[in-house]
Amino acid sequence: MELVIVKTYEVKAVEQRSATVQNQLMVLANHLIANEFLASYNPNSPYKLESHEIIEAELDMLSNLYEGRVMIIGPNYKVILDTYNISEGRTMISEEVVKCFRGENITNYDGEHGYIEMTTPIVSTTDADNTVQGVMLTSISDQTITSTMRSLNRNAMAFEIITIVMVVTFSFIVSGMLTGPFERITKAIAELKAGYSNDPISVKSYTETVHISDAFNQLQSRMKTVDDSRKEFVSNVSHELKTPLTSMKVLADSLIAQPDAPAELYREFMEDIASEIDRENSIITDLLALTKMDMSKQELNITSVNIGDLAEIILKRLRPIARKKDIELTLEEKREVIADVDEVKMSLIMTNLVENAIKYNKEHGSVTVTLDSDFQNFIFTVGDSGCGIPEESLPFIFDRFYRVDKSHSREIGGTGLGLAITRSAVLLHRGTIGVVSEEGTGSTFTVTIPLNYTGA
Ligand code: ADP
> 338-342 and 302-306 as β-strands: parallel, antiparallel, unpaired?
antiparallel
Write down the domain spans for the chain.
2-141, 207-294, 302-450
CA of 155 relative to ligand 1 center, distance in Å: 90
CA of 52 relative to ligand 1 center, distance in Å: 134
Q: What is the SS3 assignment for 335?
A: coil
Question: What one-character DSSP code corresponds to residue 375?
Answer: S
Q: Classify domain 2-141 at the CATH topology level.
A: Beta-Lactamase (3.30.450)
Q: Report which ligand 1 atom has the smallest distance to the Cα of 442.
A: 24
Residue 220 predicted with pLDDT over 90: no
Q: How many Å apart are CA 401 and CA 211, to the nearest integer?
A: 37
Lowest average pLDDT, out of 279-288, 303-312, 440-449, goes to: 279-288
Answer yes or no: are the C-beta atoms of 108 and 96 closer than 8 Å.
yes
> To 5 degrees, how large is the angle CA 123–CA 128–CA 130?
25
Full DSSP string of 407-421 = HHHHHTT--S-HHHH
Q: Report which ligand 1 atom has the smallest distance to the Cα of 352.
A: 7
Residue 408 predicted with pLDDT over 70: no
| pLDDT interval class at 398 (50, 70, 90) | very high
Answer yes or no: are the C-beta atoms of 450 and 376 closer than 8 Å.
yes
Answer yes or no: are the C-beta atoms of 315 and 354 closer than 8 Å.
yes
Q: What is the SS3 assignment for 136?
A: strand
> To 5 degrees, how large is the angle CA 9–CA 10–CA 15?
100
Q: How far apart, in Å, are the Cα atoms of 143 and each of 7, 34, 58, 112?
A: 16, 33, 21, 12
- Binding-site residues, ligand 1, Cβ < 6 A: 356-357, 360, 384, 386-389, 397, 402-405, 409, 414-420, 443
Question: What one-character DSSP code corresponds to residue 393?
Answer: G
pLDDT tens digits, 271-305: 999 999 998 998 899 888 888 877 766 578 899 99
Q: Characterize 324-343 residue by residue with b for buried, 16 or more Cβ atoms within 10 angstroms of its Cβ, and e for exposed.
A: eeebebebeeeeebebbbbe
CATH class of 302-450: alpha beta
Proportion of the chain above pLDDT 70, given as a percent? 95
| pLDDT interval class at 225 (50, 70, 90) | confident
Question: What one-character DSSP code corresponds to residue 316?
Answer: H
Provide the phi-psi class of 242: left if phi over 0, else alpha when psi is between -120 and 50, else beta: alpha
Query: Given ligand 1 and candidates 403, 444, 446, which is best to mutate, with the most ligand atoms within 8 Å of its CB?
Result: 403
> Is the model more confident about 381 or about 112?
381
Q: Characterize 238-269 residue by residue with b for buried, 16 or more Cβ atoms within 10 angstroms of its Cβ, and e for exposed.
A: eebeeebeebbeebeeebeeeeeeeeeeeeeb
CA of 345 relative to ligand 1 center, distance in Å: 19
Q: Classify domain 207-294 at the CATH topology level.
A: Helix Hairpins (1.10.287)
Smallest Cα–Cα separation from 431: which of 417, 447, 420? 447
Does this model's pTM top 0.75?
Answer: no
Amino acid at 86: I
Q: What is the pLDDT of residue 157?
A: 87
Q: What is the pLDDT of residue 313?
A: 95
Q: What is the pLDDT of residue 409?
A: 63
Residue 456 predicted with pLDDT over 60: no
> 377-384 and 338-342 as β-strands: parallel, antiparallel, unpaired?
unpaired
| pLDDT interval class at 2 (50, 70, 90) | low
Q: What is the SS3 assignment for 374?
A: coil
Report the Cα–Cα distance between both ends of the chain, in Å, rounded. 64
Query: Given ligand 1 and candidates 409, 433, 438, which is best to mutate, with the most ligand atoms within 8 Å of its CB?
Result: 409
Q: Characterize 281-317 residue by residue with b for buried, 16 or more Cβ atoms within 10 angstroms of its Cβ, and e for exposed.
A: eebeebbebbeebeeeeeebeeeebebbebbeebbee
Smallest Cα–Cα separation from 452: which of 304, 329, 308? 304
Proportion of the chain above pLDDT 90, given as a percent? 38
Q: What is the SS3 assignment for 176?
A: helix
> Is the model more confident about 411 or about 21?
21
Answer yes or no: are the C-beta atoms of 347 and 314 closer than 8 Å.
yes
Q: How far apart, in Å, are the Cα atoms of 82 and each of 20, 70, 134?
A: 21, 6, 13
CA of 168 relative to ligand 1 center, distance in Å: 71
Residue 456 CB contacts under 8 Å (≥ 6 apart), including other chains: 297, 298
Q: What is the SS3 assignment for 33?
A: helix
Answer yes or no: are the C-beta atoms of 258 and 265 closer than 8 Å.
yes
CA dihedral sign, ordered 49, 55, 59, 61? positive
Q: What is the pLDDT of residue 156?
A: 81
Q: What is the pLDDT of residue 297?
A: 62
